[in-house]
Amino acid sequence: MDDSGHAGTPSGADALLAAACLALNPAAFGGVALRTDRDESCERWLALLRAWLPAHSRWRALPVHIDEERLLGGLDLALTLRSGRASYLPGLLAEALGGVVVIGSAERLPPRIAALIGVAMDDAAGDGFGLVALDGSRVATEQLPAMLAERLALQVDLRELRPEALGAERLSAAAIATARERFAHIGTPAAAMAALCTTALACGIDSMRVPLWALRVARGSAALAGRARIESTDLEAAARLVIAPRARIEPPAAAEAETEAQSDQASQAPAEAQSMPDDPGATVEEAADGQITDQVLAAARAAIPTQLLASLAAGHGVLRRSHASGRSGALVLHGRRGRPAGVRAGKPRMGARLNLVATLRTAAPWQRLRRAQQSQPPARVVVRVDDFRVTHYRQRSETATIFVLDASGSSALHRLAEIKGAVEVLLAECYVRRDQVAVIAFRGKRAELLLPPTRSLVRAKRSLAGAPGGGTTPLASGIDAARELAEQLRRRGLSPTLVLLTDGQANVGRDGTIGRERAQLDALRAARLLGAGQFRSLVIDTSPRPQPAARLLAESMRCRYLPLPYADARTLAGAVQSAQ
């Protein structure tokens, strides 16, 4: 197998090792998160896994939009009504015990279903199932639900891997069976656990599950190689498959780690203990603790995906799933419209819909008792008011983006042309998403609503092109006008997002009097009032150099602050889109 490749590029050996480890004991490893966009590579990997599992192992495919009853099992309504006693059907997870569950497009799994699967994995313990979560997301902000990602030991990226890399030196099912017996008897040196914990902390990982998963992968690697003890190569493989994909901060370079380790050991270890064994396959007991940690840390750093390493080096942190996509508003419960969001006890009134099947399921276990209590000839099904179940629905409210534009003299001098261009780009994006947009400009002594909430791109561009520039800066009036409009939209059931483009310099107060100190205080009061309303907001500092006034304004609004001193219209638009 070819293990070559640059930093962050997966190798066929690592992908095959992940499949082999999962085949040893699916429940012991939790499962694998498989990033893939090539059907052939994914199918070949799954075929290998299925061939290496024990004979007659269960293999179940779990659809993304599965309901709770099929997932966990539930009442067999027909049999219960016919027999008069409760009869239950097993769920898909119960059917997969001892085997593997495969979820396609797992990044789209509803949070509640992901939480139920996670709870089932915890409850099943050693007699549970392994999970293969196929992640086919094409944007960085889409990730597996955290409830599942936390419980999957292995993370493999097949997007850069050719299908041919998964066809060389295949392990046989007999060799996997032998390693399965050996896996339970492999010891755990204290130095190995210390090295994995230190590496996880150096990568900013604070979960105790991760080093435990990594230790199991190291034991699995040793068992598959026919060894009775863990070697440094096993720990390095565990760092690549478990720790590196979860890195949250950039770990120290190998030279820095080596310097720190040598300084820490100088007064504690003899000189001969500080020399690294020449044998790359040396056991953990043959190497000093600090030296084996350096090896594992270097392996983890080399395996961090290239794009993630660049992001960490820039201090941007780990990419996370956005809580709001910008193309849809907040989730709200509704009695009649939207997607089903569960069944609850209640009466079919005020437009609520009776869920007949759920009502019958609630009444079914009590039929024999209720029939015995009736003096008249019993009905076939006895339903009482307490059995009524209604369906609740959930839908996303419509989104409205309010652009609050500083058209005063200072802003017009510096950035008004770029600001108008950026807003036009954003208006076009909002039009594609069918969001409503509004434009408020403030200059002189007051704020003006240039464009009421609308979906018309032509009207939006026309109103923006005619916006004059120059004059004083009534910043407080602009923020107040934006808050009032946002409150009106919220009362109409929309989810408003405010984008304030300003340099943060105010010189006109709320009452129209000119005075910089009074105007700044009024602007901060207006910003705090807006922040108390908990609106989604963004402050973009459009001055040539970032200003403390604009940052303080964003803190008062409890929102994100973006200084963009050297940006064109397209860059400004991209910044707003990422913030949304």
**Same domain, yes or no, for 133 and 272?**
no
For residue 322, tell me if it sits in a domain. no
For residue 138, tell me if it sits in a domain. yes
Give me the CATH number covering residue 474.
Answer: 3.40.50.410
pLDDT at 446: 84
pLDDT tens series, the chain, 580 aa: 444 443 444 578 888 899 999 999 999 899 999 988 767 888 889 999 999 998 889 999 999 888 888 888 877 777 777 776 777 788 899 898 989 999 988 888 888 889 899 888 888 766 789 999 998 776 545 678 888 888 999 988 888 787 777 775 667 888 898 999 999 888 878 888 888 888 888 888 888 889 999 999 999 999 998 888 898 889 988 888 998 888 888 777 644 444 444 554 444 444 443 333 444 455 555 555 566 777 777 777 777 765 555 555 544 444 343 333 334 455 555 455 556 667 878 877 666 778 888 888 888 888 888 877 777 766 678 888 888 888 877 665 677 888 888 877 755 555 566 666 766 776 777 666 667 888 888 888 888 888 888 877 777 777 767 666 677 889 999 999 999 999 998 888 788 889 888 888 888 888 888 888 888 999 999 999 998 888 888 888 877 777 788 889 999 998 888 887 655 556 666 666 665 5
For residue 34, tell me if it sits in a domain. yes
Q: Which of 266, 295, 317 is the last residue of a domain?
A: 317
**Same domain, yes or no, for 161 and 261?**
no
- Cβ atoms 235, 218 nearer than 8 A: yes
**Same domain, yes or no, for 419 and 544?**
yes
**Same domain, yes or no, for 346 and 462?**
no
By C-alpha distance, which of 19, 18, 503, 519 is closest to 238?
Answer: 18
**Ramachandran area for residue 556 (φ above 0: left; ψ -120 to 50: alpha; else beta):** alpha
Give the structural domain span for 375: 331-396
Q: Which of 317, 345, 373 is the last residue of a domain?
A: 317
**Same domain, yes or no, for 40 and 173?**
yes
**Same domain, yes or no, for 438 and 568?**
yes
Rounded to whole angstroms, how far apart are CA atoms 358 and 375? 27
For the chain, what is the domain count?
4
pLDDT at 455: 76
Q: Which of 396, 420, 445 is the last residue of a domain?
A: 396
**Same domain, yes or no, for 349 and 442?**
no
- Cβ atoms 470, 440 nearer than 8 A: no
Contacts of 365 (CB under 8 A, 6+ apart): 75, 80, 85, 86
Torsion, Cα 98 104 110 115, to 10 degrees, reads: 20
pLDDT at 311: 52
For residue 418, tell me if it sits in a domain. yes
Task: Find tokens 């050719």 and name the residue.
Answer: 162
**Same domain, yes or no, for 490 and 383?**
no
For residue 306, tell me if it sits in a domain. yes
Give me the CATH number covering residue 22.
Answer: 3.40.50.300
For residue 381, tell me if it sits in a domain. yes
With 0-12 / 13-18 / 19 or more C-beta atoms within 10 angstroms meaning exposed / middle / buried, residue 300 is: buried
For residue 325, tell me if it sits in a domain. no
**Same domain, yes or no, for 312 and 198?**
yes
29 sits in which H/E element:
helix 26-29
For residue 324, tell me if it sits in a domain. no
**Same domain, yes or no, for 429 and 302?**
no
**Same domain, yes or no, for 410 and 537?**
yes
**Same domain, yes or no, for 532 and 450?**
yes
